[in-house]
A and B are shown apart, each in its own frame.
Chain A
């Protein structure tokens, strides 16, 4: 069974304190690893798609990387507005996404 596991469940950072979120996946035939940001009461907002081991993508303070078994979302010098739940998901075919349970990030000023 395809599974996506995220850690930590929750993370509290001080503004400017860099860290990484982890997403481990066990899927048969990965067709894309997705990162989303979700604010309370809203739908997920697309951040990145990664396809192959070694691939990296960046957007402002965020950088996503991919290995054969996991993906990391690195947050450099976070700001309070980066506080949200970050979800990763794998595309296992037929456009179906399997989501992890997310990491709730809180950045304090």
Chain B
């Protein structure tokens, strides 16, 4: 149980275009999902908390107009990187939890974004 599916796994886009990444909880409902960013050999940095039916909460320093988050249902959150630039190239990972505890927080398999 507690499976989180993330799509696509890899995407290459041209500078200036937008890219959408999907995160789905397959066997549970997630009122809250989290989006992280990870640079090579670095740890995961929380970007934003996605709340079903309401606005996302962004961490300090994260541009909300560049990283648009939509959590329209209890099983789907999307992250759209708008007007992407090469510096946005990174590994993006979502997670969802059933309140943590012994289930932990389940992570998606990640999306490798390369902006050329």
Contacts and interface: CB of A to CB of B under 8 A. Distances in A.
Interface of A: 31-32, 34, 36, 41-49, 87, 89, 91, 94-102, 104
B18 to A, nearest CB: 23
| Secondary structure of the B contact surface, majority rule | strand
B38 to A, nearest CB: 9
A95 B34 contact: yes
Contact of B112 (A41, A87, A99, A100): A41
Nearest to B45: A99
Contact of B105 (A41, A42, A97, A104): A97
B43 A102 contact: yes
B110 A43 contact: yes
Contacts of B46: 96-98
A41 B110 contact: yes
Nearest to A88: B43
Interface of B: 4, 6, 32, 34, 41-46, 49, 91, 93, 95, 97, 99-110, 112
A94 to B, nearest CB: 8
Nearest to B6: A43
Given A41-B110, A42-B109, A43-B6, A91 B100 contact: yes
Given A42-B110, A44-B107, A87 B34 contact: no
A99 B107 contact: no
17 contacts: A34-B105, A41-B91, A41-B112, A43-B95, A44-B44, A46-B105, A46-B106, A87-B43, A87-B44, A95-B49, A95-B105, A96-B34, A97-B44, A97-B105, A98-B46, A99-B44, A99-B45
Contacts of A91: 100
Given A45-B107, A96-B49, A32 B43 contact: no
Nearest to A94: B49
A32 B101 CA distance: 8
Contact of A43 (B42, B43, B107): B107
Contact of A32 (B4, B100, B107): B100
Contact of A101 (B42, B93, B100, B112): B42
Nearest to A6: B43
